[in-house]
């Protein structure tokens, strides 16, 4: 009798260990994101809680600004000229390491005297949850189409339009924070089909805890905005659900792919530098399929960060609001966990994907894949002394948790950048 080798493969898409939060703490009145009210009460001392908020997380939303608007009309290429001395110092950090480490870094402390360095910056990686920034870009692109001349109406729609999760939000192991303002009780649990939140809150869940269900729901709404245009604000949940029941799956797949990828192409980011090919939950695949796969590169991510700081992602108001949504106001992980960044404001997105083959008899586990082990960090760092820089770090180091690698590299990079 023939014997067959059974290979057990573990495949996970992840982007966070536990809760970490974004958007300035004082943003509740502006956004209606309820968990921000809780952080505001903790900061003021009205609510006793063990949550320690880093010094760098105390910025008001009015204190956050874009760093490269003085060079708004400059080409992205003009920012990517290597500074040889800076390059030598960054290259030394990776001596002896294989090509599983790729990075692009830009010191923007002085917009008129930039320093850029890179390593394998065009290499493609599975971006994991960093791809949610493409969904965010798609969201603000569609808002601008609905209200081209009124940014306050875009904010109002984000703040007041409530939508239901449905199967699109299923399933994801990451929990979301649900805060009851009246009882001051916080519950953390997975998204369920009956959950209803505003667009702003779903976007926050997508970023603050990197919830995959929330990302698919936001992407769904971006798709509906493209389909219904200026009729979208009045679109009911029943009408939206009815539409998806009869829509052509291939047409939805193509359009769903376009609404998150074409805005990247408009920014001059090529398909091989960054693309998003699939929704983040199996529930979404009830209605839409996958297309072209997902890929990201440090160069593609850096092109995005540069144009965000220029105010050129959709428009200046949208770029600023997106940056606020990337602002970390709670526990920091991976690259952002570096002690060197404690007092710095950080605008951060992390993503990972790992795959294990148990038949190899090798050490393998969560964030320690032995087939693939992608971990990505995209960050803007702003120190109080006006030292500012941006990093896109992408790795595929097998059989080890690269979160520590990212944190240690962050400390070393910060020392180089901040050195007088």
Asked if 261 contacts 134 with a C-beta cutoff of 8 angstroms, the reply is yes
Phi/psi of residue 197, nearest 5 degrees: -140, 165
Least confident among 59-68, 162-171, 283-292:
59-68
pLDDT of residue 12: 38
- Asked whether residue 16 carries a pLDDT value surpassing 70, the answer given is no
Q: What is the pLDDT of residues 256-307, one digit of tens each?
A: 999 999 999 999 999 999 999 999 999 999 999 999 999 999 999 999 999 9
- Asked whether residue 18 carries a pLDDT value surpassing 60, the answer given is no
Dihedral angle over CA of 415, 416, 417, 418, nearest 10: 40
- Asked whether residue 17 carries a pLDDT value surpassing 70, the answer given is no
Say what percent of the chain tops pLDDT 70.
94
pLDDT of residue 60: 86
Dihedral angle over CA of 165, 170, 175, 176, nearest 10: -10
| DSSP reduced 3-state for 60 | coil
- Asked whether residue 7 carries a pLDDT value surpassing 80, the answer given is no
Query: Which own/partner pairs from 68-77 qualify as long-range (CB within 8 Å, at least 24 positions apart)?
Result: 68/108, 68/111, 68/306, 68/309, 68/310, 68/311, 69/309, 69/310, 69/311, 69/316, 70/111, 70/112, 71/111, 71/310, 72/310, 72/311, 72/312, 72/316, 74/310, 76/268, 76/303, 76/306, 76/307
Angle at alpha carbon of residue 388, lines to 387 and 394, rounded to 5°: 135
- Using the Cα atoms of residue 221, residue 223, residue 229 and residue 234 in order, give the sign of their dihedral: negative
- Using the Cα atoms of residue 119, residue 120, residue 126 and residue 130 in order, give the sign of their dihedral: positive
State the Cα–Cα distance between residues 248 and 257, nearest whole angstrom.
Answer: 14
Rounded to 10 deg, the angle between the 132-146 and 316-325 helix axes is 140
Average pLDDT of the segment spanning 156-179: 95
Residue 192 confidence class, pLDDT cut points 50, 70, 90: very high
State the Cα–Cα distance between residues 81 and 61, nearest whole angstrom.
Answer: 32
Average pLDDT of the segment spanning 171-188: 91
DSSP state of 129: G
- Asked whether residue 55 carries a pLDDT value surpassing 60, the answer given is yes
Say what percent of the chain tops pLDDT 90.
75
- Asked whether residue 8 carries a pLDDT value surpassing 50, the answer given is no
Average pLDDT of the segment spanning 145-162: 98
């Amino acid at each position: 009798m023939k014997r067959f080798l059974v290979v057990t493969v573990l495949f996970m898409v992840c982007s966070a260990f536990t809760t970490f939060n974004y958007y300035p703490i004082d943003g509740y009145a502006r956004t209606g994101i309820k968990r921000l009210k809780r952080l505001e009460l903790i900061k003021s001392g009205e609510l006793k809680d063990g949550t320690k908020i880093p010094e760098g997380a105390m910025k008001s939303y009015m204190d956050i600004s874009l760093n490269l608007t003085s060079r708004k009309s400059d080409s992205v290429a003009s920012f990517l000229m290597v500074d040889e001395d800076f390059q030598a110092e960054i290259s030394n950090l990776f001596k002896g390491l294989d090509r599983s480490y790729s990075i692009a870094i830009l010191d923007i402390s002085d917009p008129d005297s930039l320093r850029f360095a890179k390593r394998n910056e065009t290499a493609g990686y599975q971006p994991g949850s960093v791809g949610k920034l493409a969904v965010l870009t798609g969201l603000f692109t569609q808002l601008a189409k609905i209200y081209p001349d009124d940014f306050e109406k875009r904010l109002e729609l984000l703040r007041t339009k409530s939508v239901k999760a449905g199967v699109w939000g299923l399933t994801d192991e990451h929990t979301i924070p649900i805060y009851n303002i009246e009882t001051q009780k916080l519950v953390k649990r997975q998204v369920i089909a009956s959950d209803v939140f505003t667009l702003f809150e779903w976007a926050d869940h997508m970023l603050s805890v990197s919830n995959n269900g929330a990302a698919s729901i936001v992407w769904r709404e971006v798709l509906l905005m493209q389909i219904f245009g200026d009729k979208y604000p009045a679109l009911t949940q029943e009408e939206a659900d009815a539409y998806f029941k009869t829509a052509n799956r291939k047409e939805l797949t193509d359009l769903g792919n376009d609404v998150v990828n074409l805005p990247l192409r408009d920014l001059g980011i090529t398909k091989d530098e960054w693309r998003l090919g699939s929704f983040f939950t199996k529930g979404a695949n009830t209605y839409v399929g996958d297309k072209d796969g997902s890929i990201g590169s440090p160069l593609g991510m850096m092109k995005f960060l540069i144009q965000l700081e220029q105010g050129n992602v959709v428009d200046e108001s949208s770029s600023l609001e997106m940056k606020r949504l990337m602002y970390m106001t709670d526990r920091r992980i991976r690259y952002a966990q570096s002690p060197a960044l404690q007092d710095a404001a950080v605008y951060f997105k992390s993503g990972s994907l790992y795959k294990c083959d148990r038949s190899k008899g090798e050490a393998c586990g969560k964030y320690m894949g032995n087939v693939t082990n992608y971990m990505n960090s995209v960050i803007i760092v702003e120190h109080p002394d006006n030292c500012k820089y941006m990093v896109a770090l992408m790795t595929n180091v097998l059989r080890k948790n690269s979160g520590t690698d990212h944190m240690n590299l962050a400390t070393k990079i910060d020392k180089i950048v901040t050195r007088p």
